[in-house]
Structure 1
């Protein structure tokens, strides 16, 4: 399987797990087995990918647009992800964002230090590092939105 295929399948898996397998089955009308094939890395499922309408339905219910974000990253595009609704006030401000960013970065560095201690980053350690990296990305997006609010 290509690197691109594995990358997309990992994000499809994250999307399904974010929504929950039962809810994903209900939202897409697909069985657990079918959804599993969409993110399976077995050679016999290498050419099976989730249809776009199923991705859209799951991303509507998910906490984060995992597949859309992955596709954007592959093209070098930055998405502006805002969990809040248009007319809801944003909590905190730029100072709160800087504090949150500092805390998240410290957590990432602590996780990295622990992960690299034996000279090898395991799959579980990589997942924890990815989780922290995504948390930093969300804080940076909040910071960007606060800065945009201040310039308008």
Structure 2
């Protein structure tokens, strides 16, 4: 499977797991098996991807737009969230963002240290590192938004 296909499938899986499998089924009208096929890395499902309307429905319910962000990253584009009702906005200003950033970075480094101890990063360790990196990215987005608010 190509790197791009694998990357998109992993982000599709993250999106479904963020929302939860049962709620994802309800939101998309798809079965658990169908949703699983969208992120399966088995050869027989290599060409199956989640329809864009299903991605939109799930990302509205998710804490982070996993698939949209993955598509943007593949094109070298960075995303910015607008609106007062952002689900990824968890902090109360730039000071709490700096603290959250420090904490998340420390968690990422601790996870990296634990993962690299034996000289090999396993698939599960890579998934944990990816999860921490995504959390760090969310904090940076919040921080950027707070700085933009203060600049206006």
Asked if TM exceeds 0.5, the reply is yes
CA shift for structure 1 position 62: 1.2
Asked if 1:75 is matched to 2:72, the reply is: no
Partner of 1:147 in structure 2?
147
CA shift for structure 1 position 128: 1.4
Map 1:1-152; keep pairs closer than 5 Å: 1-81=1-81, 84-85=84-85, 91-152=91-152
| Superposed CA offset, 1:34-66 (max 9, x none) | 111111111111111111111111111111111
| Superposed CA offset, 1:14-53 (max 9, x none) | 1111111111111111111111111111111111111111
Q: Over aligned residue pairs, what C-alpha RMSD do you find? A: 1.9
Q: Distance in 2 between matches of 1:125 and 1:90?
A: 26
SS in 2 for 1:150: helix
| Superposed CA offset, 1:78-129 (max 9, x none) | 011368527xx98533222222211211111111111100000111111111
How many residue pairs match? The answer is 150
CA shift for structure 1 position 130: 1.2
SS in 1 for 2:78: coil
**Residue 91 of structure 2 contacts residue 142 of structure 2 at CA under 8 Å; is this kept in 1?**
no
Q: Distance in 2 between matches of 1:135 and 1:26?
A: 26
**1:138 to 1:35, Cα distance in 2 relative to 1, 3 A:** same
Which 10-residue stretch deviates more, 89-98 or 111-120?
89-98
Q: Distance in 1 between matches of 2:8 and 2:29?
A: 21
| Max Rg structure | 1
Unaligned runs of 5+ in 1: none
Q: Distance in 2 between matches of 1:83 and 1:123?
A: 36
Unaligned runs of 5+ in 2: none
**Residue 104 of structure 2 contacts residue 135 of structure 2 at CA under 8 Å; is this kept in 1?**
yes
